[in-house]
Structure 1
Amino acid sequence: MPISQMNSLFLQSLVSSHSMKPRKLSVRDLELVSAKLGIENAPRVENSPVLYAPVFRNISMFKRSYELMDRMLKVYVYKEGGKPIFHQSKTRGICMPWKDGL
């Protein structure tokens, strides 16, 4: 391969690598990054009347992650009623214990 062609390929690779834009973080991505930083920088817990410290690798991080989970986790509860159509399987080859009485 001639040097001129190698230089051309090199320049093309430089142009294509610089044209890639960094991905914009979504709101959820930013929340996860914030939670991770909050857990990593958790305030030190010396004694906890509720938690038995020797069970945990890092009781401070566990306690902070639990607090963040309790605050940030969203659980959606729907009214009872007929099951959505995608729950009514027509497949015959799959064992479904709740339907087969197993």
Structure 2
Amino acid sequence: MKNKQVKNNVVVYQAKNGAIELRGDSVRETIWANRMQMAKMFGVNPQAISKHIQNIYKEKELIKTATSSKLELVQTEGKRAVVRSVEMYNLDMIIAVSHAM
């Protein structure tokens, strides 16, 4: 990661291949990222992130209910808005994945 900017409640990290926006959670004092965002952040494919997350939970390094949350995100596909359920991971998981790399 190259640069970090904080604006309001959004943290923006500059990766080698572009900007990645991570949502800040001031109540829980954390940030949230999905597997695709982590893959971009660390310059790997999403399957590698999935493997590390599975291993972290399998080894009980982190507890799933404390480090993940399903969020509904609205994505524009063509001219219509589609709601997708996306698994998000907090800063604890992001750090654990970075150590597993």
Question: TM tier, shorter chain?
Answer: under 0.3
* Structure number having the greater strand percentage: 2
TM-score (norm 2): 0.24
Bigger radius of gyration: 1
* Structure number having the greater helix percentage: 1
TM-score (norm 1): 0.24
Higher relative contact order (CA 8 A, sep 6+): 2
